[in-house]
């Protein structure tokens, strides 16, 4: 009986400790090898107003993006000089907010079935609390790469725990850059 209890406990622990996998889709017609620089929308832009993310969370996300992009050798540039724009969205319980965000980055989920998109995973989940990162082509103002990952931020997380979750998620997501 003790062995059975131990085995059940071991199975439960291993199920809880399994890491979720980041997913990504991207436009195969876009030449990712030419991307050397990136930028993000200014804080006071209409684009940023779409999201109701508190300042601390927004700051954590942007710093993590900058650190991860720098590790991969990308240079931060002014918005009008960048090769791509990095955009993000924290999915809320309001479905309309995700729809508005998708329209703003010209992301079409139906287009994924077309032959010009490549998917690294089939695990797409638009659950509240998941983070989306898009790379937007500055020429077309259209998303050419997207990654989604669950942040799993708990109300009881302190700022360090929240920041670590954000940094880890963004690192995993941007590691999928083609």
User: For position 136, which CATH number holds?
Assistant: 3.30.160
What strands lie across the sheet with 23-27, from one edge to the other? 75-76, 37-40, 84-90, 130-137, 142-150, 23-27, 117-119
Percent of the chain with pLDDT over 70: 78
Q: Domain range holding 161?
A: 22-174
38 within domain boundaries: yes
164 within domain boundaries: yes
Domain count, the chain: 1
Residue 14 in this model has a pLDDT that exceeds 70: no
Question: Which residues in 1-151 belong to E strands, given as ranges?
Answer: 23-27, 37-40, 75-76, 84-90, 117-119, 130-137, 142-150
For residues 175 and 73, is the Cβ–Cβ distance under 8 A?
Answer: no
Report the Cα 171 to chain-centroid distance in Å.
9
pTM of the model: 0.82
14 within domain boundaries: no
pLDDT of residue 44: 78
Which of 39-43, 45-49, 120-124, 171-175 ranks highest by mean pLDDT? 171-175
Q: How far apart are CA 173 and CA 177, in angstroms?
A: 8
pLDDT digits (tens, 9 = 90+) for 116-148: 566 655 456 677 889 999 999 999 999 999 999
10 within domain boundaries: no
Residues in the chain, overall count: 178
Among 62-71, 101-110, 122-131, name the one with the lowest average pLDDT: 122-131
């Amino acid at each position: 009986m003790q062995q059975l209890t131990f085995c059940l406990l071991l199975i439960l622990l291993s199920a809880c400790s399994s890491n979720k996998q980041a997913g990504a889709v991207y436009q195969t017609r876009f030449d990712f090898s030419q991307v050397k620089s990136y930028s993000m929308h200014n804080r006071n832009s209409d684009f940023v107003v779409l999201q109701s993310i508190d300042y601390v969370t927004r700051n954590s996300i942007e710093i993590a993006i900058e650190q991860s992009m720098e590790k991969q050798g990308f240079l931060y540039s002014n918005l009008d000089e960048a090769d791509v724009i990095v955009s993000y969205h924290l999915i809320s319980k309001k479905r309309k907010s995700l729809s508005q965000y998708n329209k703003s980055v010209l992301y079409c989920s139906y287009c994924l079935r077309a032959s010009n998109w490549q998917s690294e995973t089939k695990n797409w989940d638009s659950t509240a609390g998941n983070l989306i990162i898009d790379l937007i082509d500055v020429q077309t103002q259209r998303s050419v790469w997207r990654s989604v990952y669950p942040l799993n931020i708990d109300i009881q997380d302190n700022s360090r725990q929240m920041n670590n979750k954000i940094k880890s998620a963004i690192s995993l997501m941007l590691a999928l850059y083609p």
